[in-house]
Amino acid sequence: MGRNKVTSSDVAKRAGVSQATVSMVLNKKYNVSFSKEVVRKVEEAAEELGYVLPKRRARKEERREKFLVVISPNLTNPYYVMLLQGIESRAAEQELGIFVCNTQRDLKLEERYLKMIAAMNPQGIIYMCNPGKCFMGQVEKLAQKLPVVVINNQNEHLNVDAVELDNSKLGRLMARHLLELGHRDVAYIAPPLTVRQKQRSRRVEGFLEEFRKAGLGDHVVIKAASEEIDKDMAGIDSEYRIGYDLTKELLKEHRKLTAIVGLNDMIAFGIMDALHDEKYKVPGDMSVMGCDNTLFGRVKRVSLTTIEHFVIYKGMDACDIIMKKMLSQRKKYTEIEPVSIYHVEYEPKVVVRGTTSYPCYQKNKINKK
């Protein structure tokens, strides 16, 4: 028979201490204080007996949390909050967590988050806007390793999965609604129309296109905020202030306007407040229109005419695409890795509420009849 294995009990007897003391001394539990004499006795006893600390059993690998990285340009606009709501609701059904990276439209922050993603090891990435142009290649490389979905402007070409938005179509719908009501002299208020934010320009271009078709292109005033605004960190009221301040300027410069459009609902709210402060009645003196159909636009006191393009559903669809890609990776039906690019698009609709009506001169004609 082989020699019995030396245990910590044997060491404890030899050193004249408890088994717990042996364990703590030999495992170097520094949060417990022992005299030098006790430490010496335990270590000598262990050496004399040839005691070897048992190897710790490797812990079962803890269940790694599964999550998605969501990259947002800002969370001050309800549009992005609605997108996030759609993503979170679908992710929760699949027990996926969400890690939100808010870039504040800052390229350095976006770059930093993209570098972090490799170490984070997520199940997928959802971009709630187009990636910075300088990062397009990097995003496409990421898409070769894990599912990436971009909720983007349809006119941008990306070799990744996308939930698309045709911004020019949104602009055309806004214009048609006002033209059908008889508006001729209108203004369009937008955030900075920079090269980086092409989706904004597409919406404005679509609006202009419809007025040009009607022979009224020179009757549209485009009022865009200064590019400096995009360099500052967005505040909770940034877009509202754009609508408010630029409306005040418009009213001084153009007296014939009968309708003012905001690129989104937040800008439209600012437009409405500026008109209220200047004693204009909406829609009696001036029609107002927004885009995105955010919650506040539905409030009865506001009752904003806007464009519904199913924002929450887009967030859900982005998440669904990630799930499909994850499933195709787990279940192999062929030895060849499938390559698929999903593209989803919703047809936008005008939601007519209480802020748009016929222009004053049109109403007078109707009343006379």
Domains, the chain: 8-49 (no CATH), 67-166+310-331+341-347 (3.40.50.2300), 169-308+351-368 (3.40.50.2300)
Q: What is the pLDDT of residue 335?
A: 60
Cα–Cα distance measured from residue 264 to residue 307, given in angstroms and rounded to the nearest whole number:
9
What percent of the chain shows pLDDT beyond 70? 88
Dihedral of alpha carbons 251, 256, 258, 261, sign: negative
Measured CA to CA, the distance from residue 74 to residue 346 in angstroms comes to 23
C-alpha–C-alpha distance, residues 16 and 36, integer Å: 14
pLDDT at 37: 87
Q: What does the mean pLDDT of the chain come to?
A: 87
Record the pTM: 0.77
pLDDT of 156 strictly over 80? no
Name the nearest CA neighbour of 125 among 146, 102, 148. Answer: 148
Quote the tokens at residue 235: 């505040």
pLDDT in tens, 157-206: 677 888 988 999 999 999 999 999 999 999 999 999 987 788 899 999 99
pLDDT at 229 over 60: yes
Checking if the pLDDT of 367 tops 90, the result is no
**3-state SS, one letter per residue, for 283-324:** CCCCEEECCCCCHHHHCCCCCCEEEECCHHHHHHHHHHHHHH
Confidence at residue 2, expressed as pLDDT on a 0 to 100 scale: 45
**pLDDT at residue number 341:** 76
